[in-house]
Structure 1
Amino acid sequence: MAEFPLLVRFRTDDYPTLVPVDSEDTVEEAANKISHIVDSRVHIDHDRPLEMIYEGDVVPSDERVSEALEPVEYVEIQYEGEEIPEGFGESHPAWNDESMLEAHPEHAKPQE
């Protein structure tokens, strides 16, 4: 068992968060842990089952996180059974290996 960091965003949240889960957690267990961490921003209904989305596909809930993903992968969490919109998440820089400043140059410190 080891810490396994993931860059995660709940579907209704605007901000990704780096969250450590356990390498031996199932995807379902990790999604539940993540939901409690981002709950203060998103107000998640913990009575509804969750699922993890990676590269536009649902990750099987019984798969071990360390078998399904690499550390610091970008994943998204949503309520189970929700439709994944076309291109879901692709606008986030993590999908295309851009830094936040490359994606949003307007936030860069002005050069003098």
Structure 2
Amino acid sequence: MAMIPLMAAFRGDFLTQLVPVDDGDDMAAVAAKVAHHAVGLRVKERDAPIAVWFNDKQLPADMSFAESGIGVMDYIEAGYVE
């Protein structure tokens, strides 16, 4: 498995972070890795699911990284599902 660097922001945060993800991760794992850098620090923790958005489309939690079309240094957002 390979580490892939992504530019990522958590919705409601003011920072964009460089977040390494594994090419074997699903979108639930990617969302958790992005959330780790914002939730409880600059974004209030909530009891709600977290998802990944790429090109303004919400990706299913069980979608694999390979299926997502996300590439090295692409910009993604993670955030709470309303």
Residue 73 of structure 2 corresponds to: 72
Higher helix share: 1
TM-score by length of 1: 0.64
Task: Report which structure shows greater RCO (CA 8 Å, sep ≥6).
Answer: 2
Residue 56 of structure 2 corresponds to: 56
CA RMSD of aligned residues (A): 1.4
* Unaligned segments of structure 1, at least 5 residues: 83-112
Distance, in Å, in 2 between the alignment partners of 1:18 and 1:42 is 17
Following TM superposition, the consecutive aligned residue runs of length 4 or more in structure 1 with deviations greater than 6 angstroms are none
* Unaligned segments of structure 2, at least 5 residues: none
The structure whose Rg is larger is: 1
Question: How far off is 1:67 after superposition?
Answer: 2.9
AA aligned to 2:64 is R
Higher strand share: 2
Aligned length: 80
